Structure 1
Amino acid sequence: MPVRTSAPLGAPIWIDLATSDLEQAQRFYGTVFGWTFESAGAEYGGYVTAFLDGRHVAGLMVNDPQWGAPDGWTTYLHTADISDTVAKATAAGATSCVAPMEVKDKGWMGMLSDPTGAFFGLWQPTGHRGFDVVDEHGAPAYHQLTTRDYRAALDFYREAFGWQTATVSDSDDFRYSTASFDGHDLVGVMDGAGILGEGVPSDWCFFLGADDVDKTVQVILDNGGSVVRAAEDTPYGRLAAVADPTGAGFNLSSIGA
């Protein structure tokens, strides 16, 4: 099992789900990916940690109706100094949505919206180092930002997080860059101006590894989930976009892609 002991600075470090049905979500992800779960209790607002073979993989929490947002996943980027990162990000055009706050014995978290409207989190670990299994069935394999303003997004993350980016394609049909950390491409940035529907904001998403994408899609359907984009072969492996029973979307990627 590919295990990591830390995430590179500026790279995705954690993912968590805000769901309107916490029990159903645990049944769904447990059945589809073999996740197990442990509640942190009332002290942490009932936050639930998901494990894959005993290792941290994701978090789940109740989606408070007062937030006014649909069920969905949030990607968190690693920072060593959350206050400094928020200052740099806002100076570069981001909006602070949730000011940095301490999570006792775990770390510091905050929420931002980048200049193109994509919502994401920050995590400064103290006792909780984020997901520590990758590139495995049911574990994060890749992360992607689909943005309405491709060049502004690249400029922002390079300035605020020091990303090193490389252009994969720069045509009107397909405009895409990758961000590399310690020699590994961990994040993609896609020009979504022509593909995001009206009113759909820029969006951070992730890909979970799947031993067999087609079989995993069927298990998702059998357990109340849905298909957003059917499985297809790509130069990056077999991919699919799906959603859980309450509509929270994520992606699948064949292992080794």
Structure 2
Amino acid sequence: MAVQPEGTPCWADAMFSDVEGAKSFYGDVLGWTFGESSSEYGNYTQAYKDGKAVAAVVPPMPGAEGQSAWCLYFASPDAAATTQKIRDNGGAVLMEPMQVGDFGTMALASEPSGAVFGVWQAGVHEGFEATSVPGAYAWAEVFTREPEKTDAFLPAVFPLSAKQVDEAEMDFRIFNVGEDTVLGRMKMTDDFPPEVPSYVNVYFGVEDCDAAVAKATERGAVLRFGPMSSPFGRFAALSDPQGASFSVIDLNTTEGDMPKLTDVS
């Protein structure tokens, strides 16, 4: 796949204190295989589905041990310029742009409500080699308690346009790069415990949502929501055995009508 347009989710990785355990879990649940770990880059290990790179796992850096979490990276033609926009619009730069050999340049940041994300300026590593198929990245949503901050920030940093979903029971917005819908934003309700911070929820495709949930929980994951059918697919939210939140979605099992959208950009 070619370098993705600016603002498009282009890669996902996660730090795990037990990398071998993570490889075993995701290998079982998503059918991933793994390349050789790269000691030059902190034992960064790419995950593959049907031979195509779909994500990566890595042990924490010394002193950075904490809660395991998936990090979604957004494509940028200039990571330094993007991090400046992040600062200018109320976000925080957690890791300054760092060149990773000839693979590309990465940075880590958080948007004003606290959700952490990455920025990726591609070199020879352009990002996902497959998307929206079983075992690969399918979708992502920013879960936030302060949607007005997130909604102002995202289009100020990336070339995104927005549409609001016209449904009274939830506050949900989608963001587009050109004609392509690339990201969702969900307001966190009181269903979320107050200690849960804003975060980016990454969805991976599966052939059968219920079977994937059964396999994941059998392997020690915690089911947080679902499985539930929607116009977009049948999905469920989970926490893996090391506490990293993620969702699975069967994009082919849909139910109901697509929601009405109001252009707000």
What are the ranges of 5 or more consecutive residues in structure 2 without an aligned counterpart? 255-265
| Secondary structure in structure 2 of the residue aligned to 1:180 | strand
Whole-Å separation in 2 of the counterparts to 1:6 and 1:133:
12
Contact residue 32 and residue 216 of structure 1 kept, 8 A: yes
Aligned length: 253
1:237 is aligned to 2:244: no
Q: 1:223 to 1:196 in 2, by over 3 A?
A: closer
Residue 108 (structure 1) aligns with: 105
Q: 1:136 to 1:19 in 2, by over 3 A?
A: same
1:117 is aligned to 2:114: yes
| Secondary structure in structure 2 of the residue aligned to 1:10 | coil
- Structure 1 residue 170: deviation in Å? 6.1
Name the % identity.
31
Q: 1:93 to 1:170 in 2, by over 3 A?
A: farther
| Secondary structure in structure 2 of the residue aligned to 1:66 | coil
* 1:1-257 correspondence to structure 2 within 5 Å: 4-64=1-61, 66-169=63-166, 171=168, 173-256=169-252
- Structure 1 residue 215: deviation in Å? 0.7
The CA deviation string for residues 132-187 of structure 1, in whole angstroms up to 9 with x for no partner, is: 2011111111110011111111110111112111111364x311110112422121
What are the ranges of 5 or more consecutive residues in structure 1 without an aligned counterpart? none
Partner AA of 1:223 in structure 2 = R
Partner AA of 2:63 in structure 1 = Q
The CA RMSD over aligned residues, in Å, is 1.5
TM-score (norm 1): 0.93
The CA deviation string for residues 68-125 of structure 1, in whole angstroms up to 9 with x for no partner, is: 5201111111100001001111000011111111100100011101111111111101
- Structure 1 residue 244: deviation in Å? 1.8
TM-score (norm 2): 0.91
Contact residue 243 and residue 249 of structure 1 kept, 8 A: yes
The CA deviation string for residues 190-223 of structure 1, in whole angstroms up to 9 with x for no partner, is: 1115443212211101111111100111111222
Whole-Å separation in 1 of the counterparts to 2:142 and 2:199:
6
